[in-house]
């Protein structure tokens, strides 16, 4: 019951990811990690805030990490640095 479950933030609507988080908690997860890169970082924060505040279910932010990842561009083959975030939610 203590394994880590992750939700990767992409281009879908915010509510999809909020529901994904809430479902993981509902299914017995105690720690859910929201991960995002680049422009999706803002959306990751939205997801965490909505999961915590609108659905007042005792979910809290346990920790937040930021980092830099190297991403190879498919078009140019260049390696770019992209910021990333990991938001750890616990119940």
Applying CB under 8 A, the residues found at the interface with a copy of itself are: 38-42, 45-46, 48-49, 53, 61, 64, 66-68, 81, 83-85, 87
Please say whether the beta carbons of 87 and 34 come within 8 A: yes
Please say whether the beta carbons of 21 and 7 come within 8 A: yes
- Beta bridge mates, 35: 8, 86
Is the Cβ of residue 28 or residue 68 nearer to a copy of itself in the bound state?
Answer: 68
Is the Cβ of residue 24 or residue 87 nearer to a copy of itself in the bound state?
Answer: 87
* Residues written for the chain: 91
Is the Cβ of residue 40 or residue 71 nearer to a copy of itself in the bound state?
Answer: 40
């Amino acid at each position: 019951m203590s394994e880590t479950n992750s939700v990767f933030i992409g281009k879908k609507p915010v509510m999809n990811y909020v529901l994904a988080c809430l479902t993981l908690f509902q299914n017995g997860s105690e720690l859910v990690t929201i991960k995002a890169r680049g422009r999706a970082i803002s959306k990751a924060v939205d997801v965490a805030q909505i999961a915590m505040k609108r659905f007042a279910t005792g979910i809290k932010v346990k920790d937040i990490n930021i980092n830099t990842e190297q991403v190879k561009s498919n078009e140019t083959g260049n390696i770019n640095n992209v910021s990333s975030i990991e938001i750890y939610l616990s119940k």
